[in-house]
């Protein structure tokens, strides 16, 4: 569970980005925090303590919505979703989106399936597989997200094949990743895409910034 103050920080932080979270959506985030906390005792899901879950996991995940406009019903793939970031927060905040969480570790996928069920997120499903081996899903997604999965050059090769023409891949990178993003320019071009922008985002209520690399498929 997250405290009343954490709920307020989540609601206000999201509101700074124009995202309105209802009481039911805030409750879903709280239930998610409990599921994470419980399962984290059984397996290594996150090193972030519960006290920091709102800024470092929830708001961080929602930051994508502040920079990429996603149409109603858009298909999203969260590659290497792990414990569900950014995919689960996106699914809670935007029930109109159609979200697939992909992870190569089956234990994590089983956890994600439990989360989807317990939070009653009909717009979301978790799939077990490796990005390199999912050719049947190529070109199907308006947006592919990834946080803390791989270096930018590797990630570009994994993410971009899933993006449909005109869609985007959004890689969530640390504030120090400028050179890493730049060094992937060639791979990005080979995938028929370009670096549309590298957005510096501040997480509300913290002094933390991160970079979101937005890659657009031609």
Residues at the site binding ligand SAH, with contacts judged by CB under 6 A: 80-83, 85, 102-105, 108, 130-132, 147-149, 158
Q: What minimum distance in Å lies between the beta carbon of 127 and ligand SAH? A: 9
Q: How far is the CB of 23 from ligand SAH (least distance, A)?
A: 26
175 alpha carbon, distance to own chain's centre: 17
Please report how close the Cβ of residue 149 comes to ligand SAH at its closest, in angstroms.
5
Q: Parallel, antiparallel, or unpaired for β 209-217 and 193-202?
A: antiparallel
Instruction: In angstroms, give the least distance from the CB of 210 to ligand SAH.
Output: 11
Report which DSSP code applies to 203.
Answer: P
Nearest residue to ligand SAH, scored by beta-carbon proximity: 82
Compute the distance between CA of residue 163 and CA of residue 1 in angstroms, rounded to an integer. 35
Closest by CA to 44, choosing from 83, 77, 74, is: 83
Residue 34 φ/ψ, nearest 5 degrees:
-65, -45
Q: Which is nearer to ligand SAH, 101 or 214 (CB)?
A: 101
Residues in the chain, overall count? 218
By C-beta, is 18 or 28 nearer to ligand SAH?
Answer: 28
Q: Which is nearer to ligand SAH, 65 or 149 (CB)?
A: 149
Nearest to 78 by CA among 126, 138, 28, 139: 126
Minimum Å gap between C-beta 156 and ligand SAH is: 13
22 or 44: CB nearest ligand SAH: 44
């Amino acid at each position: 569970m997250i405290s009343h103050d954490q709920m307020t920080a989540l609601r206000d932080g999201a509101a700074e980005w124009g995202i309105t979270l209802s009481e039911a959506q805030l409750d879903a985030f709280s239930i998610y925090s409990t599921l994470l906390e419980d399962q984290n005792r059984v397996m290594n899901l996150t090193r972030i303590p519960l006290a920091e879950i709102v800024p470092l996991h929830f708001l961080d995940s929602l930051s994508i919505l502040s920079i990429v406009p996603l149409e109603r019903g858009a298909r999203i793939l969260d590659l290497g979703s792990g414990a569900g970031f950014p995919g689960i927060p996106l699914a809670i905040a935007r029930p109109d989106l159609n979200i697939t969480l992909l992870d190569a570790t089956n234990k994590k996928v089983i956890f994600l399936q439990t989360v989807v069920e317990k939070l009653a997120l009909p717009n979301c499903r978790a799939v077990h597989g490796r990005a390199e081996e999912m050719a049947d899903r190529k070109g199907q997604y308006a947006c592919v997200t990834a946080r803390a999965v791989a270096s930018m050059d590797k990630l570009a090769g994994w993410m971009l094949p899933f993006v449909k023409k005109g869609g985007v891949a959004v890689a969530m990178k640390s504030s120090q990743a400028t050179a890493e993003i730049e060094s992937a320019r060639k791979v990005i071009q080979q995938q028929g895409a370009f670096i549309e922008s590298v957005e510096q985002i501040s997480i509300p209520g913290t002094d933390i910034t991160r970079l979101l690399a937005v890659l657009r498929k031609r």
